[in-house]
Amino acid sequence: MYFYKKSLRTRIFLSMFLLVLGASVLIAIVTVFQYKEEAQDYHRDRLLRKEAAIRENINYILKTTTYPVETEQIPLIFKDKIYEIKDIHGLEIFLYDLDGNLLKSSKPSFFKDTVSPKMAEYALETLQNSPTKNYIKEFEEGGQKYQSSYTYITDSYFKPLAILNLPYIEDDGFITKELTEYLYRLGMAYFFMLLVAIILSYFLSKYITRSLKEISEKLSETRFDARNKKIIISDTPQEISILINSYNGMIDELENSAAQLAASERETAWREMAKQVAHEIKNPLTPMRLTVQSFQRKFDHNDPEIDKKMDEYTNTLLQQIDTLSSISSAFSTYAKMPAQQDETLNVVKITKLALDIFNEDFIYFFSEQDEVRARFDRTQLIRVITNLIKNSIQSIEQKKPTEPRIDVIVKTEENFVNILVTDNGIGVSEENRNNIFEPQFTTKTSGMGLGLGMVKNIVETYGGTIVLESSEEKTIFKVSFPAIV
């Protein structure tokens, strides 16, 4: 899994390197195994050839001897001849009777104590049960490999007379030398191939990833709300060309979709705005109409309380006019939000600045750090904080606790900035929590309910979130957005 997390260029380089290295190691292992097999076959065939030649010499001696050709006469028949055969073929020779007892050996007499007087039982049993009447045993002693062959010597009538034993030392010096020289030449060839593979993989990976790097840079710059440039790269592989053409086609479709979506959103926004304005304006117009009608119907200039009633009518109309004015101001603020100006801010400093406009003595600020940096629009961050504080002040005014308190906390958590506004006001009921951030929703008798909806839109624009936690004791608004680490 770690390999797949590497870049494509690194994976191409490592793949070619490991391919050549793995092939060289595999061929070296196969070569060593093959040489060992050939060496083993060579020694076995050489022993069998020597055995055949020695048997011919022994048969010739048996035909020309003047002694009776019997098992008991074997030591006399080969008294001196056994040494001649040893000198000719370069092998020690041991002759045993049919029960495995030693009859004659080519070893000098002073080595007699080292020669076994009796043939091994397992060798004798194996030879007797062998269909070919031949048995070769392989063993290792003192770090040296040996082969020992056992076969029957027969007379002219093919009657077994004795057992011939030929111990053979496997001398691998020549073969080992050849193997070492071959592996050296093979290693030099694969070392050269490895260098070529490294150079080739470097330029190949560079050629492939060059186009992909340009494409990735263009993709990272792609924005839904801006005009994107098409990718124009020449001399690219067919697969890369297909990817580039797909991207350029996507850019055309994206621009068309963005234009259509923007037009649709503008139309929807203005429709909703008009509907909301009409609804909000209708609310104060109704009492104004009733007041005027009542004044028209009951007006009497001879009434001694005419001045008092006139003041009441006038105050009622002025209140409704103020309501209309506040409606106009709220919608104007919501519709004419200034353009986003991103900058690197100290969130702690901006939060303190936003709190300075409030005169309430029950607002407290806390931060464990003097500086927490983030990318945000200064005006909009102040707007977020002031709206949350105003909401908390209004909540406290409705509940009127004995010890009102608003806590504003700035802290960091992993790679995010958290601004927490906590109050002990009236809180938000369970049924209203899902609608609290809707632009047209409000639980107050005045106001448009645009504040928290605007806060949510601003925070989400910067990739953040706003969460509400409310109970009878306290209400917490938690705003989170990415920090600069």
Mean local confidence (pLDDT), 144-149? 77
Mean local confidence (pLDDT), 406-427? 91
What's the confidence (pLDDT) of residue 74?
87
- Res 292 pLDDT > 80: no
Mean local confidence (pLDDT), 352-370? 88
Candidate from 17-26, 404-413, 448-457 with smallest mean pLDDT:
448-457
Q: What confidence tier does 30 reach under pLDDT thresholds 50, 70, 90?
A: confident
Q: What confidence tier does 481 reach under pLDDT thresholds 50, 70, 90?
A: very high
**All domains of the chain, ordered by start, with CATH?**
3-176 (3.30.450.20), 238-335 (no CATH), 342-482 (3.30.565.10)
Candidate from 21-30, 38-47, 158-167, 216-225 with smallest mean pLDDT:
216-225
Candidate from 68-77, 166-175, 187-196, 417-426 with smallest mean pLDDT:
166-175
What's the confidence (pLDDT) of residue 366?
94
Is the CB of residue 445 less than 8 Å from the CB of residue 284? no
Q: What confidence tier does 480 reach under pLDDT thresholds 50, 70, 90?
A: very high
Q: What confidence tier does 416 reach under pLDDT thresholds 50, 70, 90?
A: very high
Residues 6+ apart with CB under 8 A from 211: 233, 236, 237, 240, 244
- Res 360 pLDDT > 70: yes
pTM for the structure as a whole: 0.36
- Res 449 pLDDT > 50: no
State the pairing for strand pair 406-413/363-367. Answer: parallel
- Res 423 pLDDT > 60: yes
- Res 232 pLDDT > 80: no
- Res 85 pLDDT > 80: yes
What's the confidence (pLDDT) of residue 432?
75
Average pLDDT, the chain: 77
